[in-house]
Amino acid sequence: MSLSKDGPSPKESATEVFTLVRDYAKQETVDPLKGLLSFVKWGLVGALLVGIGVIELMIFVLRLAQSEGSGVFDGRWSFAPYLITLVVAGGVLLIAKRGMSSKTSPTAGAPR
């Protein structure tokens, strides 16, 4: 009985299987991670800009309370502008928390 040379050799088959497995692993792991990296990068940039904006807003509220209440918040009431700023910052945090835990999220109840 003799072996026929109709099909590829075992070495060629092994190389082809290795190439297919490598390409499949790359397709299923590396490519999605590249997309995720881009998503995270822009998310971090957005979070940084929003954070800077909120800090600027709180400085504005503090300076507004200090300048508009210059006669009222003197002496023993000098802490009041800081307290007002703290209350406004707490309100901003509550609004942000409600926005993040909204039940009307576009992904809430979406089929998987």
15-51: per-residue pLDDT in tens? 998 999 988 888 888 888 888 888 899 999 999 999 9
User: Are 65 and 81 spatial neighbours (Cβ–Cβ below 8 Å)?
Assistant: yes
Higher pLDDT: 110 or 96? It is 96
Helix axes 31-68, 80-100, angle to 10 degrees: 150
Angle at the Cα of 106 (from 104 to 50), degrees rounded to 5? 85
**Ramachandran angles phi, psi of 99, nearest 5°:** -65, -35
CA 97 and chain centroid, separation:
15
51-105 pLDDT tens trace: 999 999 999 999 999 888 878 888 888 899 999 999 999 999 999 888 888 666 5
**Cβ–Cβ < 8 Å for 81, 69:** yes
Alpha carbons 68 and 81: distance in angstroms, whole number: 10
Position 2 scores a pLDDT of 47
* Residue pointed to by tokens 């490598």: 22
- Asked whether the beta carbons of 52 and 44 are under 8 A apart, the reply is no
Classify the phi-psi angles of 109: left when phi > 0, otherwise alpha if psi is within -120 to 50, otherwise beta. Answer: left
